[in-house]
Amino acid sequence: MPVSITAVVTYVNAQAGELFVQDKSAGIFVFIRNSMSDVPLHSGQLVKVEGVTAPGDFASSITRARVTVTGRAEMPKPVVLPFDRILGGKQDSQWGHLVGVIRSGREESGVLYLNAVTAGGQFLIITREYPADWVTTLVDSKVSLDGVLAAVFNEHRQVTGVRIFVPAPRFLHIEEKASASPFDLPQSLALSIGAFGSEQDWSHRIRVRGTITAVATTNLVYLSQGEGNLAVELWMPCGGKPGFLVDLVGFPGTVDGRPGLQSAICRPIAGAMPEQAPEVSAHDIVPPQSAGDGSGLSIAKGTRNDLKLITVAGTVIQVTKGLLAQSLTLLAGNQAFTVTIPDSAAVEYAIEPATQLKITGVCLIAFDEYHRAQSFRLLARKAADIVVVSRPSWLTVRRALLIVAGLAFLIACSVVWILILRRHIAAKTLELQAANECLRKLSVEDPLTGAANRRHFDEVIENEMRRCGSDREPLSLIMLDIDHFKSINDNYGHKRGDRYLIHVVAELRRVLAQFPGPAIEEGRAVVARYGGEEFAVLLPKTPVDMAEAIAETMRVAILDIAIPQPGSSPGLDGTISLGLAMMPSSSDLNPDQFVDAADNALYKAKQDGRNRIVVSDGAVPARPLSSGRIGRAALPLDALSH
């Protein structure tokens, strides 16, 4: 649509194609590269903009405009709003006000980009006029800014952050100056970061002195200070190496879910220091979780070795060579773990499976969504971190033949030795098979419920759909979701919610066992945890009427598990909603479309009131199958602990 407005220029960067103008009603972006102006444009000019409207990259804009300068004007009154309201993107192109602490920055093509934080989030400052000593005068300073608010967005026009374009230094005011010499800041303890009751102002930088235990990348190092360990995200490369004593100045926060320093700078103090790496059993690093471990302290036990420099012994079961690092999979008892060996720490000899090693490295623990330790890996730092305890048996077939040929008179002894060797190899093979079975189980099962995990489900459904097409057999899929599962977690806690999920999987499997059929008898039917409280039941060789009967029986079985509310409140029904889809043998659906058909039916079931089944064939509109409630037997809450 044609448009003509009179407005003030709030920000302009012709080289980058950026022009913002604002009148009494609002601000708007102008595509300057598709427009023309009689004179160079500057902030504060009063202009007449005549062009046409355009949808813009994020918000409505003006393009193909003629911009005429008519005079000077005062900047608009800035919008002052809580940051969460600015983060929504509705203030895009408006002249606004922000306050925050600058954490880091970079210069690029004459433009300064500063990363800042405020209560509620982070934002980016963009300015073309800035002091040459901005690193010392601006970083770690608390500033107030007037400028053009703009959204950071993706190609789908979704907001991912906030920017503010500051046209001149007079619109940036330092409220609290940064320390002139950050390395003169008082020393802080690593253990104080994130500790309860600390009175330190975590919005500004702190200084931590410690020993570098490992260098993961040029921008990520791990630091040790007595019992405290930190992950440190560097603003610029440090130059420190493992064992160096360094001063690190950065902003307290979390790095990869761990206490750490962000946007840190580094200063080496001393060279390599003596290192202590206690030997720890793999079983003790990831302690087993039991039903009684409900306290936060019990869960936190799995973090005691996180980021620590330790030594672990194990037997190599797999060697993988990557582009920049070598990866080893080791087995210690029934605990499998991995070791990452960067090229800089590579050993000169070949490491073969069945080699027993002692590895020294930084322990990095992987957690689930409840921050419970699930597995760990070691990051080795140098070749000396890898010590060979024993190598695989030196006796090979070739050497055995040479021994038999050269020592013919010891044939009997050689035969006995070969028999012993075969038994030894068989025992080792069984150990490796047990290790592989352990790894296979970890890769295909959900660790909480014992159901198949999402990865295994994706593999099975693809294979079954291919088999369905070639054998012309029916294939049914049930997607089900526990209704109001958040209420169970809110009322009884996540531990008992976990036990309820375990009971649900047990009931689903019990129902499957009741129905005769080739797929169930052959073990091809799969119960999988699709995500959170959503499950999938894949039924090969199962026509839709049989699948409907199975789904209805599952609905009733779960309805029989009633969770009593505390006090005299009525019990909370543990109901499920189910969506059913069947893939005829002539269908050309792909796995995603097949899952979407069942998932859409599930969504329809929840939309129609939950506790019901909706059937869809992927092309025919979903139809409800059953609803209503059948008599239920209350399951005491304490039973969920058994």
3-state SS string for 528-579: EEEECCEEEEEEECCCHHHHHHHHHHHHHHHHCCEECCCCCCCCEECCEEEE
Tell whether the model's pLDDT for residue 328 goes beyond 70. Answer: yes
Nearest Cα neighbor of 117 from 248, 252, 249 is 252
Is 35 in the same domain as 149? no
Cα 243 to Cα 211, 224, 226, 231, 386: the distances in Å are 6, 10, 13, 15, 17
Q: Give Cα 587 to chain centroid, integer Å.
A: 36
Tell whether the model's pLDDT for residue 569 goes beyond 50. Answer: no
Is 268 in the same domain as 378? no
Is 170 in the same domain as 187? no
Tell me, yes or no, whether 277 lies in a domain: no
Q: What is the mean pLDDT of residues 78-97?
A: 93
Per-residue pLDDT at 405: 87
Highest mean pLDDT among 13-27, 317-331, 510-524: 13-27
Is 417 in the same domain as 537? no
Tell me, yes or no, whether 77 lies in a domain: no
| Radius of gyration, CA atoms only, the chain | 32
Which range (62-71, 145-154, 240-249) has the least confidence? 240-249
CA distance 459 to 34: 50
Do the strands 18-22 and 61-72 form a parallel or antiparallel pair, or are they unpaired?
unpaired
Is 419 in the same domain as 491? no
Residue where one domain finishes, among candidates 113, 141, 176: 176
Q: What does the mean pLDDT of the chain come to? A: 85
SS3 assignment, position 26 = coil
Q: Are 32 and 2 in contact (CB under 8 A)?
A: no
Is 385 in the same domain as 439? no
Is 229 in the same domain as 313? no
CA distance 272 to 211: 9
Global pTM reads 0.56
Q: Are 534 and 479 in contact (CB under 8 A)?
A: yes
Tell me, yes or no, whether 357 lies in a domain: yes
Tell me, yes or no, whether 78 lies in a domain: no
For residue 55, give the CATH number of its domain: 2.40.50.140
Q: Which domain holds residue 61?
A: 2-72
Is 597 in the same domain as 485? yes
Q: Are 174 and 203 in contact (CB under 8 A)?
A: no
Per-residue pLDDT at 294: 55
Nearest Cα neighbor of 530 from 602, 457, 598 is 457
Which range (149-163, 305-319, 429-443, 478-492) has the least confidence? 429-443
Is 256 in the same domain as 202? yes
Q: Based on the structure, what is the number of domains in the chain?
A: 6
Q: What is the mean pLDDT of residues 565-577?
A: 60
More confident residue, 16 or 617: 16
Residue where one domain finishes, among candidates 240, 272, 304: 272
Is 535 in the same domain as 627? yes
Is 430 in the same domain as 375? no
CA distance 513 to 530: 21
Residue with tokens 């360990």: 229
Tell whether the model's pLDDT for residue 113 goes beyond 90. Answer: yes
Per-residue pLDDT at 290: 62
Tell me, yes or no, whether 630 lies in a domain: yes
CB atoms < 10 A from the CB of 405, how many?
8
Is 357 in the same domain as 246? no
Tell me, yes or no, whether 448 lies in a domain: no
Do the strands 534-540 and 526-531 form a parallel or antiparallel pair, or are they unpaired?
antiparallel
For residue 541, give the CATH number of its domain: 3.30.70.270
CA distance 155 to 157: 5
CA distance 244 to 266: 11
Query: Residue 438: which pLDDT band, with cuts at 50, 70 and 90?
Result: low
Tell me, yes or no, whether 354 lies in a domain: yes
Per-residue pLDDT at 264: 92
Nearest Cα neighbor of 475 from 586, 627, 549, 372 is 586
The predicted-structure confidence for 206-239, as pLDDT tens digits, reads as follows: 899 988 888 888 888 998 888 888 999 998 888 7
The predicted-structure confidence for 182-209, as pLDDT tens digits, reads as follows: 888 888 888 888 787 656 667 888 899 9
Tell me, yes or no, whether 449 lies in a domain: no
